[in-house]
Amino acid sequence: MVRKLYRSPADRMIAGICGGIGETYDVDSLLVRLGVVFLALITAIAPVVITYFIGWIIIPLKPIE
């Protein structure tokens, strides 16, 4: 089965990207968020913020079923 990445309309803090990644790969979204924060601190924040913003634009919102 092909899994498609969507932003989560329910599990969201800002744009639902971390919640969508968690839903797609069956991982707790809190772990995904902690990973993003950790990467942001290691890479001086700007690359992660830019990547997150691009993901916000590119990744579609999951349709409500």
What pLDDT, on a 0 to 100 scale, did the predictor assign at position 64? Answer: 83
Q: What is the reported pTM?
A: 0.90
Q: Per-residue pLDDT tens for 26-59?
A: 999 999 999 999 999 999 999 999 999 999 999 9
Token couple for 36:
């993003």
What pLDDT does 5 receive?
A: 95
Query: How many C-beta atoms surround the C-beta of residue 35 within 10 A?
Result: 13
pLDDT tens digits, one per residue of 1-20: 788 999 999 999 999 999 99
pLDDT at 38: 97
Nearest-10 crossing angle of helices 17-24, 46-58: 70
Q: In the prediction, which pLDDT does 2 show?
A: 87
Residue 46, CA distances (Å) to 1, 30, 50 in order: 35, 21, 6
DSSP 63: P
